[in-house]
Structure 1
Amino acid sequence: MKNFLFTLLFCVTATVTFGQTKLNKYYPVEDVAVQKKLDDWKTLKFGLFMHWGTYSQWGIVESWALCAEDESWCKRGNPNYEDFKRDYVALKNTFNPNKFNPAKWAEAASKAGMRYIVFTTKHHDGFNMFDTQLSDYKITSTECPFHSNPKADVTNEIFKEFRKKGFMIGAYLSKPDWHNENFWWPNFATPDRNVNYNIDKYPERWQAYVDFFHGQVDELMTNYGQIDILWMDGGWVRPLSKGQRKLITFINGLFLKSGYSQLHIPQNQDLKITEMAEKARKKQPGLIVVDRHIEGPNENYLTPEQFIPDHYIDKPWESCITLGGSWSYMPNDTYKSSREIIHMLCDVASKNGSLLLNVGPSPEGEWAPEVYQRFDEIGKWLTVNGDAIYKTTGRKKYGDGKERYTVNKDGSVNAFYLIDETEKNLPKVITFNQLKVGKKDSIILLGYDGKLKWRKKKGGIQVEIPNEIQKTKDEKYALAFKVVGTDNN
């Protein structure tokens, strides 16, 4: 009987907390203003993500070391958890990013060809990077040395500078708050990432947390100018379906009869997101709400994390991927190459998505030199080839091997040839196997004014690459061809 109960518990837990990397069924947006904002967002294709908080001082993973789960990303230096947690919380007292220069970041991101930003106003650890009035665990607290800086409200400064560059503005907000006593109640231990008390037994405590979360959303919607995206993380904080609640009630009863009354079983962690979204859109009409991994009307676009789907998706989606090896700042981090990011961008666009590329600022408020170098190279490539990325859609035959395709509004097709690092010179002939071209159609190489010769071959085409293009060192990441007058969808 005991083994049966534990097996049943595991199965229920898995349906509630696991499987968050899968792509959910998409629910179309009904609000006309949100539809319009979403259509505008889908044209942007390339955004900046930033994870930044007190954890950058230690160069460790954001927030997760506070979590008592035995996972690789939860490792901490101090084996004594209570000492570690005390020292982690005290990082507020030494956080002083006095080299913070959001205008420099906005300029670099704009030159890189990015068009929207999502910034972590608060991660799971509960440290607020904005001037919330609902918690003193924040960068503007008098206990934080940076509070006296004129730019202490870094969220406001970042949004202001990126807005000047025409960026769509996205506010990341964690649904769990491990510093809030109505989420992690000090009366009990914190066995995992979830709320650590019985919500059914203490409903007033959970309601206080719901009010707190709604209050912080309201602050962001009220005090920080136009917000285009509310990007909520922490998908395990979710309501349970009626079926799940009935099953868990049944399992709870079995456990009580068997003498296991203190086991942690998934709970109905309902933050009333629909109600919150309605209130938020009264102040920010058209707000895109991203309740990550929660299938339903509040997941306005899908967010695969650290991977690119292997197929075309006809719904709005975005891959969030780190430029370095971690979401947060790590000393001597290893960064993806410009070639890798450009190839990712072509791949994502060909499958109808967007790329949200993450950078973790240092404790001083700087980006690593490698970030600027990558952004400069990516921007130069997009200056020439951006017309094949922005305002395009993907297509079902998105490409294979070194070829990728996007479609322009007028129906013309863009074909990318992804250049390998080992290719010192370009080939004399490039074959596109999934491209149909009519006799009267023309093929243009973006950034090249000359005419191209091409011929049909086995259902595709072969394009002759001019001599001067073959030997140039400028074309080292990807070539973008535009095929005018075709219907390749």
Structure 2
Amino acid sequence: MKKLIAIIPILFVLLSNAQYEHEVTGYVWPEDKKVLEKLEEWQDLKFGLLMHWGAYSQWGIVESWSICPEDYGWCERKKGSNPDDYFTYKKEYENLKLSFNPVNFNPEKWAEAARDAGMKYVVFTTKHHDGFSMFDSKYTDYKITDVECPFSVNPRANVTKEIFDAFRAEGLWAGAYFSKPDWNSPYYWDPKFPPLDRNVNYDPELYPEKWEKFVEFTHNQIMELMIDYGKVDILWLDGGWVAEKPASMIEQSYAAKAEGTPSGFIKNRTVNQDIRMDELAAKAREKQPGLIVVDRAVRGPNQNYLTPENRVPEMQLPYPWESCIIAGGGWSWVPNPQFMSPKQAIHMLVDIVAKGGNLLYNIGPGPDGTWPQGAYELLAAMGDWIKVNGEAIYSTRAIEPFKTDNICLTQNKDTKEVYAIYLEETISEQLTASEKLTEKLPTSFTVKGIFAENNAKLSMLGAKGNLKWENTDEGVKIYIPERIRKNLPCDLAWAVKISEIQ
């Protein structure tokens, strides 16, 4: 007991220092040269699209989680004929396959909107935790191409292939989201045993042959994606609890938080769910050299970049990372989703890039195969801004002090030019339209902690001419002439390029 009392304060200090476990240290850099090169290229891309889509979209509910017998808000059951009866609900949920028919599916329209928004890669949910495969897997009949699914007769029924092809045609990378747990597989949730939580519902160490069948099933499905779907750049694995059994309480807490469970919560049931990730990653890279593997929430060499979920870290992180953020509604489609404003979205993108990360922006397609109109409008506004300011975003890296007040900093990784991005502050509604125009940007502002070289040239992206400036004790002070303030090249945020810094 004395030893336990001594350990507990250390544990809580470590947990408090860790903040959110999608961001903890302990990152392991890959040793594969091709993977390192690919990661470097990925860090140049900055802006990607995530799409959660499946038969569950017909109910407008969160993906998968309502069939998981855990007591969290996102697991609440509200649909079906009798949501209070778990087994009836689960059966009706699985029968959504029988009515899933997204006849308006048009991935080219999505790909064009993503390209015009400035997105450079897509990550698509080929399979979520419920096990419904959005690709033509020969290892399950719980899939969109099964004869019992009405969409299976559509020539574009293999939606994963159609999406990858459409986005690659627009110059975007293709990324495959794949859930390691599979709540439909009899080798994960054995029908002879009731599911207890998100984990496998039997002990793999007591039933090793059964678990081996699940491991083979998982490897086989992932290898289908690696072999039959063209060039795949990212394998984005979810379900971090499917891993070797955590070695300590700290590791358990890491996995729990990374999966979205409450702060400080340590599961009372941990199960060894080793799917031989090292072997799987090696096999996948034989087919897709340089493949980036993202084994989310599992520390070690197979988590090539980290993924803070639905939040932006407070500080720059010292390894490759990506914030995956809901653009509007939920991860999956919900009726009448409310999207971020362009100002919120653009400021978030700038903030993430200034801290060295990428933004993976989630949009959930609807049950008919279309995006909400609000998604197109938001992406169009982001694209308008990026057309002017893209050089301050792409192929940049973080530079101290990253962000001071409402000014974010980025630096071109090759030329070393620095960009000071001024984020629009709140403007009083009492001002006239003419006054609001000139109030968007002040006559001058100081970029604290950055000093320009004596012969440096400063200019605003999208505007003609150089800007006057001077170094002060705090940093470089930049003057914005009235001709620019009355004819701004874009809205919401403005980037000033500094050719050389001290």
Per the TM superposition, whether the score is higher than 0.5 is yes
User: Mean alpha-carbon deviation: is it higher for 302-311 or for 96-105?
Assistant: 302-311
| 2:482 matches 1:467 | yes
Moved over 6 A (4+): none
Aligned to 2:70: 69
- CA shift at 1:35, angstroms? 1.1
Aligned to 1:254: none
- The SS at the match of 1:43 is helix
Aligned to 1:52: 53
Partners of 2:327 and 2:385 lie apart in 1 by 17
Aligned to 1:218: 223
User: Mean alpha-carbon deviation: is it higher for 204-213 or for 416-425?
Assistant: 416-425
Partners of 1:372 and 1:428 lie apart in 2 by 34
Partners of 2:489 and 2:418 lie apart in 1 by 23
- The SS at the match of 1:212 is helix
For 1:364, which of 368, 373, 376 is the aligned residue? 368
Partners of 1:485 and 1:474 lie apart in 2 by 23
User: Mean alpha-carbon deviation: is it higher for 422-431 or for 148-157?
Assistant: 422-431
Per-residue Cα deviation, 1:385-405 (whole angstroms, up to 9, x for no partner): 000000010123101221100
Please say if residues 20 and 235 of structure 1, whose CA atoms lie closer than 8 Å, have aligned partners that are also in contact: no
| 2:294 matches 1:290 | yes
- The SS at the match of 1:195 is coil
Structure 2 alignment gaps of length 5 or more: 253-266, 429-435
Aligned to 2:154: 149
Partners of 2:378 and 2:462 lie apart in 1 by 20
For 1:383, which of 374, 377, 387 is the aligned residue? 387
- CA shift at 1:237, angstroms? 1.2
For 2:461, which of 435, 446, 469 is the aligned residue? 446
- CA shift at 1:415, angstroms? 0.6
- The SS at the match of 1:230 is strand
- CA shift at 1:374, angstroms? 0.7
C-alpha RMSD over aligned residues:
2.2
Partners of 1:375 and 1:267 lie apart in 2 by 42
Per-residue Cα deviation, 1:117-148 (whole angstroms, up to 9, x for no partner): 10000000100000000000000000000001
- The SS at the match of 2:275 is coil
Per-residue Cα deviation, 1:126-184 (whole angstroms, up to 9, x for no partner): 00000000000000000000001110000000000101111111000000000001101
Please say if residues 24 and 295 of structure 1, whose CA atoms lie closer than 8 Å, have aligned partners that are also in contact: no
- CA shift at 1:234, angstroms? 0.4
- CA shift at 1:476, angstroms? 2.3
Partners of 2:451 and 2:203 lie apart in 1 by 61
Percent identity between matched residues is 47
Aligned to 1:176: 181
1:24-35 alignment runs, 5 A limit: 24-35=25-36
- CA shift at 1:55, angstroms? 0.9
Please say if residues 161 and 229 of structure 2, whose CA atoms lie closer than 8 Å, have aligned partners that are also in contact: yes
| 2:380 matches 1:373 | no
Aligned to 1:253: none
| 2:108 matches 1:103 | yes
Partners of 1:264 and 1:433 lie apart in 2 by 48
Structure 1 alignment gaps of length 5 or more: 248-262
For 2:232, which of 227, 230, 244 is the aligned residue? 227
- CA shift at 1:19, angstroms? 6.5
Partners of 1:381 and 1:131 lie apart in 2 by 38
Aligned to 1:327: 331
| 2:172 matches 1:167 | yes
For 1:351, which of 328, 348, 355 is the aligned residue? 355
Instruction: Give 1:384's aligned amino acid.
Output: V
Going from structure 1 to structure 2, the CA distance change for 1:295 and 1:219 (only over 3 Å counts) comes to: same
| 2:308 matches 1:304 | yes
Please say if residues 60 and 329 of structure 1, whose CA atoms lie closer than 8 Å, have aligned partners that are also in contact: yes
Instruction: Give 1:393's aligned amino acid.
Output: R
| 2:340 matches 1:339 | no
- The SS at the match of 1:162 is helix
Partners of 2:208 and 2:407 lie apart in 1 by 55
For 1:115, which of 120, 126, 140 is the aligned residue? 120
Please say if residues 140 and 147 of structure 1, whose CA atoms lie closer than 8 Å, have aligned partners that are also in contact: yes
Per-residue Cα deviation, 1:48-86 (whole angstroms, up to 9, x for no partner): 000000111010001111111110111111122111111
- CA shift at 1:471, angstroms? 2.9
Partners of 1:379 and 1:229 lie apart in 2 by 24
Instruction: Give 1:38's aligned amino acid.
Output: L
1:409-428 alignment runs, 5 A limit: 409-422=414-427, 424=436, 425=439, 426-428=441-443
- CA shift at 1:20, angstroms? 4.3
Going from structure 1 to structure 2, the CA distance change for 1:91 and 1:24 (only over 3 Å counts) comes to: farther
Aligned to 1:192: 197
1:470-489 alignment runs, 5 A limit: 470-472=485-487, 475-487=490-502
Partners of 2:463 and 2:273 lie apart in 1 by 56
Going from structure 1 to structure 2, the CA distance change for 1:328 and 1:210 (only over 3 Å counts) comes to: same
Partners of 1:72 and 1:44 lie apart in 2 by 34
Partners of 1:242 and 1:362 lie apart in 2 by 41
User: Mean alpha-carbon deviation: is it higher for 137-146 or for 264-273?
Assistant: 264-273
- The SS at the match of 1:178 is coil
Please say if residues 45 and 354 of structure 1, whose CA atoms lie closer than 8 Å, have aligned partners that are also in contact: yes
Instruction: Give 1:51's aligned amino acid.
Output: H
- CA shift at 1:433, angstroms? 1.4
Going from structure 1 to structure 2, the CA distance change for 1:348 and 1:164 (only over 3 Å counts) comes to: same
Per-residue Cα deviation, 1:74-133 (whole angstroms, up to 9, x for no partner): 111112211111110000000000000000000000000000110000000100000000
Aligned to 1:403: 407
Aligned to 2:209: 204
Please say if residues 23 and 307 of structure 2, whose CA atoms lie closer than 8 Å, have aligned partners that are also in contact: no
Partners of 1:222 and 1:480 lie apart in 2 by 43
Aligned to 2:258: none
Going from structure 1 to structure 2, the CA distance change for 1:375 and 1:19 (only over 3 Å counts) comes to: closer
Aligned to 1:260: none
Instruction: Give 1:53's aligned amino acid.
Output: G
- The SS at the match of 2:333 is coil
Per-residue Cα deviation, 1:401-456 (whole angstroms, up to 9, x for no partner): 21100111221111100012426322111221122112211111000012211222
Please say if residues 156 and 162 of structure 2, whose CA atoms lie closer than 8 Å, have aligned partners that are also in contact: yes
- The SS at the match of 1:327 is coil
Partners of 1:241 and 1:84 lie apart in 2 by 32
Partners of 1:401 and 1:92 lie apart in 2 by 50
Normalized against structure 1, the TM-score is what? 0.90
- CA shift at 1:264, angstroms? 6.9
Partners of 1:19 and 1:439 lie apart in 2 by 42
1:243-254 alignment runs, 5 A limit: none
User: Mean alpha-carbon deviation: is it higher for 472-481 or for 347-356?
Assistant: 472-481
Paired residues, number: 460
Partners of 1:264 and 1:479 lie apart in 2 by 50
- CA shift at 1:465, angstroms? 1.3
Instruction: Give 2:117's aligned amino acid.
Output: A
Please say if residues 312 and 395 of structure 1, whose CA atoms lie closer than 8 Å, have aligned partners that are also in contact: no
Aligned to 1:278: 282
- The SS at the match of 1:199 is coil
